[in-house]
A and B are shown apart, each in its own frame.
Chain A
Amino acid sequence: MRQLFNLFQLFFRIGLFTFGGGYAMLPLLQGELVKKRGWATDEELLDLYSIGQCTPGIIAVNVATVIGYRRAGVPGACFATLGIVMPSLIIILLIASVLTQFMYNRYVAYAFGGVRICVVALILNVIYGLWRKSIKDYFCAGVFIGALVLLLVFNLSAVWVVIAAGAAGYWLRGAAAK
């Protein structure tokens, strides 16, 4: 019971501080799960994101569900998911019903201006760490640059990028192993 409450509390906190979608959540997940608790490795987190990207639903929710399941089975999955969803539910309902002018407040806008830049800095910092750990050879660097070009230049859907990269890994890594 205590573990379920802990899962709820952890993902509630992560949901509360996630600004701008599932990928903006990664620095928080890395801080809490990899660095602070040792529940997962960087590689496992990346694998979860690739699965979260290619499966139905919101990436942030998908990642929370799997981590909850791993820690405490089906109840863990439910509590982690409720935790990640609850801050949205409370805040959006408040803004929609009582605080309709909240978003137009000058100081709120300034605070969000700062937070958004911080999210960019946090993401870049995580990428720097992941780059040093995960891009070990020319194959990895090639996939990274290829994926970036497909995403930014050709606007290809992220789902296809993940599938293409998986196929590239399967065939090219296989050939290298032989």
Chain B
Amino acid sequence: MIYVILFFEFFKVGLFAIGGGLVTVPFLFDLSEKYSWFTAKELADMIAVSESTPGPLGVNMATFAGFRAAGIPGGIVATLGLVFPSLVVMILIAKMMDKYSCNTRVQRALDGIRPAVIALILSAGIEIARMAVVDLKAVIALVVFLLVIHFGKRGPIFYLALSAVAGIVFKI
């Protein structure tokens, strides 16, 4: 029974959280008040853990919350509930996109949206930088990474692994 409630509650989060991981946070706070699955303080810890583990933030939060509520099966059910609305809505939208993407009106709107999305990406980068680039050592590391990435020929995963090693060696 708890699994049905978990699936349904996270289905709602997935359906109404428009705009990515951190948007799920207020919904999860509501859940902490409605059920005794986890407290608001545990939720704050959860956000910290989600931010420094791999995977999309929203998915991490759902897995963690579901686990707290009903163990490992709870984590799986909550994650599936969260993802399900995306799956359905995005398949429908992908079908529509194939039909309308050549439409000149849609093209004009997308012309305006593309530069705005670049701004969105930059603001996400600034958000992470606020958390990560806190001292002189971090600034130097950022400049070095920028140069290595810009002039290097490897894929992003290589640099991410390298940066984890660099973090341990230089105690960033």
Residues of A within 8 A of B (CB): 13, 15-28, 31-32, 35-36, 43, 46-47, 49-62, 65-66, 69-70, 74, 77-78, 81, 84-85, 87-89, 91-93, 95-97, 103, 107, 110-128, 130-131, 134-135, 139-141, 143-148, 151-152, 157-159, 161-162, 164-170, 172-174, 177
From B79, B119, B145, contact of A117 by CB (8 A)? B145
B86 contacts chain A at the CB level, 8 A cutoff: yes
Q: Which residue of A lies closest to B167 (CB)?
A: A114
Taken together as a complex, chains A and B put the C-alpha atoms of A134 and B116 apart, in Å, by 11
Q: With A60-B59, A120-B142 in contact, is A81–B128 under 8 Å at CB?
A: no
B130 vs chain A, min Cβ distance (A): 10
- Number of CB contacts from chain A to chain B under 8 A: 370
* A23 adjacent to B124 (CB under 8 Å): yes
Q: With A110-B168, A119-B128 in contact, is A157–B55 under 8 Å at CB?
A: no
- Is the CB–CB distance between A158 and B120 below 8 Å? yes
Residues of chain A within 8 A of B93, CB atoms compared: 51, 55, 66
Number of chain B residues whose Cβ lies closer than 8 Å to a Cβ of chain A: 90
Q: State the 8 A-B residue pairs at the shortest beta-carbon distance, nearest first.
A: A169-B112, A114-B167, A88-B55, A57-B86, A118-B163, A165-B116, A23-B124, A116-B132
Q: Min CB distance, B89 to chain A, in Å?
A: 6
Q: How far is the CB of B85 from the nearest CB of chain A, in Å?
A: 5
Partner of A21, one of B56, B85, B112: B56
Q: Does B150 contact A (CB under 8 A)?
A: yes
Question: Are B118 and A144 touching (Cβ within 8 A)?
Answer: yes
Given contacts A55-B90, A92-B64, contact A127 B122 (CB under 8 A): yes
- Report how far A28 CA is from B63 CA in the complex, Å: 23
A89 in contact with B54 (CB, 8 Å): no
- Contact assessment for A85 and B117 in the assembled complex, using a CB-CB cutoff below 8 Å: no
Contact surface of B with A, Cβ cutoff 8 Å: 14-22, 24, 48-60, 63-64, 67-68, 72, 75-76, 79, 82-83, 85-87, 89-91, 93-94, 97, 101, 105, 108-126, 128-129, 131-133, 138, 141-142, 145-146, 149-150, 155-157, 159-160, 162-168, 170-172
Residues from chain A with Cβ under 8 Å of B55 in the complex: 15-16, 18, 84-85, 87-88, 91-92
Specify the chain A residue showing the minimal Cβ separation from B110: A47
Main secondary structure of the interface of A (DSSP, over half): helix
Task: Give the shortest distance, in Å, between A47 (CB) and chain B (any CB).
Answer: 6
A118/B129 contact (C-beta < 8 A), A56-B89, A88-B55, A92-B64 known: no
Bound form: Cα–Cα A87–B129 in Å: 24
- Chain A contacts for B85, CB-based, 8 A: 56-57
Rounded to whole angstroms, the CA-CA distance of A172 and B54 in the bound complex is: 40
Q: Given the known inter-chain contacts A53-B19, A56-B17, please indicate yes or no for A117 contacting B132, CB distance below 8 A.
A: yes
Residue from A50, A157, A164, A177 in contact with B114 in the complex, judged by beta carbons closer than 8 Å:
A50
Q: In whole angstroms, how far apart are the Cα atoms of A54 and B72 in the complex? A: 31
Known: A123-B125, A158-B120. A112 touches B52 (CB 8 A): yes
